[in-house]
Structure 1
Amino acid sequence: MTLTRAARLSGVSVTTRRFSGTRLALGRERMLVFLVVLTLAAGAAILLAPDFAPLMLLTVPMAVSSLVLGPRELPWFVVFVMMVLAGLVPAQPEINPRIGVTVLAIFLLGLYILLTSFRRSRLGVGGLQGEEMLVDLRDRIQRQGGIPPLPNQWYAASELRSAGGTKFAGDFVVAARDDHHLNVAVVDVSGKGEGAGTRALLLSGAMGGLLGALPAEEFLSAANEFLLRQDWEEGFATAVHLSLDLRTGRYAVRSAGHPPAALRNAGSGRWSVLEAEGPVLGLIEGAEYECVVGEMRPGDALLLYTDGLVEAPHRDIGLGIDRMLGQAERLLRGHFEGGAARLIDALGSRNDDRALLLVHRR
Structure 2
Amino acid sequence: MRPLPAHLPLSGGAMIRVLRRWVLSDLGIASVLALFAALVVVGIWLEPVDVPINLIFLPLVLGILFLSSRMLPWFAGYILLTLVTAGVLQEEYTIRIATALGVMATISVLVIVMSLRRGQIGVGPLRGQSMLVDLRDRILAQGEIPTLPREWLVESALSSAGGSPFAGDFVVATTRWRESLELVVVDVSGKGEAAGTRALQLSGAMGGLVGALPPAGFLPAANDYLLQRAWEEGFATAVHVSVDLATGVFELRSAGHPPAVQRHAGSGRWEMLQAEGPVLGIVEDVEYACIRGQLDQGDSLLLYTDGMVEEPRRDIELGIDHMLGAAESLLRKSWDGLADRLVGAVGSPDDDRALLLVHRRP
Residue number in structure 2 paired with 1:40: 38
Amino acid at match of 2:96: R
Report how far residue 130 of structure 1 moved: 1.4
Report how far residue 270 of structure 1 moved: 0.9
Q: Deviations over 1:198-235 (max 9, x none)?
A: 00000011111111111111111111110011111111
Superposed, 1:137-216 pairs within 5 Å as: 137-178=135-176, 179-216=178-215
Are the equivalent residues in 1 in contact too, given 2:309–2:316 (CA < 8 A)?
A: yes
Which of residues 3, 23, 28 is equivalent to 1:30? 28
How far apart in 2 are the matches of 1:52 and 1:184? 66
**Where does the alignment leave 5 or more consecutive residues of structure 2 unmatched?**
1-20
Report how far residue 275 of structure 1 moved: 0.5
> Structure 1 residue 322 and structure 2 residue 324: aligned?
no
Relative to the length of structure 2, the TM-score reads 0.91
How far apart in 2 are the matches of 1:184 and 1:52? 66
SS at match of 2:25: helix
Are the equivalent residues in 1 in contact too, given 2:22–2:28 (CA < 8 A)?
A: no
> Structure 1 residue 257 and structure 2 residue 256: aligned?
yes
SS at match of 2:55: helix
CA RMSD in angstroms comes to 1.4
Q: Per residue, is there more helix in 1 or in 2?
A: 1
Superposed, 1:54-133 pairs within 5 Å as: 54-133=52-131
SS at match of 1:259: coil
Residue number in structure 1 paired with 2:243: 244
Amino acid at match of 2:98: G
**Where does the alignment leave 5 or more consecutive residues of structure 1 unmatched?**
1-22
Amino acid at match of 2:37: T
Report how far residue 26 of structure 1 moved: 6.3
Are the equivalent residues in 1 in contact too, given 2:168–2:192 (CA < 8 A)?
A: yes
SS at match of 2:132: helix
Residue number in structure 2 paired with 1:229: 228
* Worse overlay, 57-66 or 95-104: 95-104
Aligned identity (percent) is: 54
Rg larger for: 2
How far apart in 2 are the matches of 1:334 and 1:127? 46
Q: Deviations over 1:151-172 (max 9, x none)?
A: 0000001000001111100100
How far apart in 2 are the matches of 1:129 and 1:193? 22
> Structure 1 residue 281 and structure 2 residue 280: aligned?
yes
How far apart in 1 are the matches of 2:333 and 2:130? 42
Residue number in structure 1 paired with 2:345: 346
How far apart in 2 are the matches of 1:228 and 1:60? 48
How far apart in 2 are the matches of 1:91 and 1:358? 69
Are the equivalent residues in 1 in contact too, given 2:261–2:271 (CA < 8 A)?
A: yes
Are the equivalent residues in 1 in contact too, given 2:175–2:182 (CA < 8 A)?
A: yes
Report how far residue 57 of structure 1 moved: 1.0
Q: Deviations over 1:25-59 (max 9, x none)?
A: 96222212211112112222222222222221111
Q: Deviations over 1:316-346 (max 9, x none)?
A: 1111011111111111136210000110000
Amino acid at match of 2:328: E
Report how far residue 237 of structure 1 moved: 0.4
Amino acid at match of 1:135: V
SS at match of 1:267: coil
How far apart in 1 are the matches of 2:23 and 2:47? 36
How far apart in 1 are the matches of 2:75 and 2:348? 45
Aligned length: 340
SS at match of 2:156: strand
How far apart in 2 are the matches of 1:172 and 1:93? 61
Structure 1 runs of 4+ off > 4 angstroms? 23-26
Residue number in structure 2 paired with 1:134: 132
* Worse overlay, 41-50 or 190-199: 41-50
SS at match of 1:224: helix
Amino acid at match of 2:218: F
Are the equivalent residues in 1 in contact too, given 2:77–2:112 (CA < 8 A)?
A: no
Residue number in structure 2 paired with 1:10: none
Amino acid at match of 1:104: G
Report how far residue 24 of structure 1 moved: 9.8
Relative to the length of structure 1, the TM-score reads 0.91
Amino acid at match of 2:101: V
